[in-house]
Structure 1
């Protein structure tokens, strides 16, 4: 069979499967953005540790290493590019006070302008995520040839950050009666820009990763309470 199937690839495969489930769930029926966000959080958890797990295997071939880099980026594009966009689309269906498709006959300008702008933002956000991931792959290949070892800094905002940023917006949506659909897309514009903006971000060590996981766990717990305990 083509590909590699040892334990070093498991978290990446799980992240992609979670992203796929999140996309299908978000867009099913009249939209389930809240549930889709749980899958996004799980994708972030998988991505936080896939690199560390992969590096525990000391006898990886060059082919395995390069394969791991490629599938990680492809998985990240779906998980942190496509899935957040689909959650946003689901919000247009489920939560938004304006139409999810452009309408000119309602007398409300938002019914035409808002959905058009939102669809443009979704497409440009996914494009920004793809460009960033492709650029990272190129730079990582060059870096490994020149210096090797583990990367200490990222250029631009890592796409994995989407797994903490968008759940926070969704959490605020369910804690306030106001419609935050446009705010969600506004955040998407900012995050997409930061994906491509050239600035240094220090790569978190183990303590930093655990701190980020803790933040995700807190978001997850509050969302569970809001949804199933308070039935918000």
Structure 2
């Protein structure tokens, strides 16, 4: 967030967003390796959701605002996005309250998918006229918000998904470092 707000090259803020996504892929696996009681597990679930809100809801909003997308329409879209993200995480935490029986599906698109989706949005900004892209940002953010609260089952990543998502993240990071 500091990189975005400070006026540094915005690609570095997007790189941090992608790195947070890669780290988020493995935090649950690491937590499961640690011996914890039920209270500590429940605390970890809540702490993870708080981190998800900061990294994958607040951080994209800060980046887009720092890029100059701060009209009343953008701010309204960000508010909807934040409300949907928090509601989605809260609903998921309630739905999966049994910490000893992990869910096999997410309900709605996870907020953590922002780690790959928003960096792709940034790449689109290079090929789309600015006036059209300003409108596209609003539609994009609202669409992402809608899919977060949509009552659809999204499979939780399995072992192969961790590899695929990691490779996608590394590919995107490479594009950012080499091409941009």
Q: Which residue of 2 aligns with 1:171?
A: 123
- Give yes or no for contact 1:81–1:125 (8 Å, CA) kept in 2: yes
Q: Which runs of 5+ in 1 are unaligned?
A: 1-22, 94-99, 101-114, 228-232
- Give yes or no for contact 1:156–1:201 (8 Å, CA) kept in 2: yes
What pairs up with 1:122-137 in 2 under 5 angstroms? 122-137=78-93
Q: Which residue of 1 aligns with 2:52?
A: 76
Deviates more, 1:71-80 or 1:34-43: 34-43
Number of residue-to-residue matches in the alignment:
178
> TM-score, with normalisation over the residues of structure 2?
0.91
The correspondence for 1:120, drawn from 55, 66, 76, is 76
- Give yes or no for contact 2:109–2:148 (8 Å, CA) kept in 1: yes
Q: Cα RMSD over matched residues?
A: 1.7
> TM-score, with normalisation over the residues of structure 1?
0.72
Q: Which runs of 5+ in 2 are unaligned?
A: none
The correspondence for 1:206, drawn from 159, 170, 180, is 159
Deviates more, 1:181-190 or 1:60-69: 181-190
Inter-partner Cα distance in structure 2 for 1:149 and 1:116: 43
Name segments (4+ residues, structure 1) moved above 4 Å: none
The correspondence for 2:143, drawn from 179, 190, 212, is 190
Closer/same/farther in 2, CA of residues 124 and 177 from structure 1, 3 Å limit: closer
- Give yes or no for contact 2:61–2:78 (8 Å, CA) kept in 1: yes
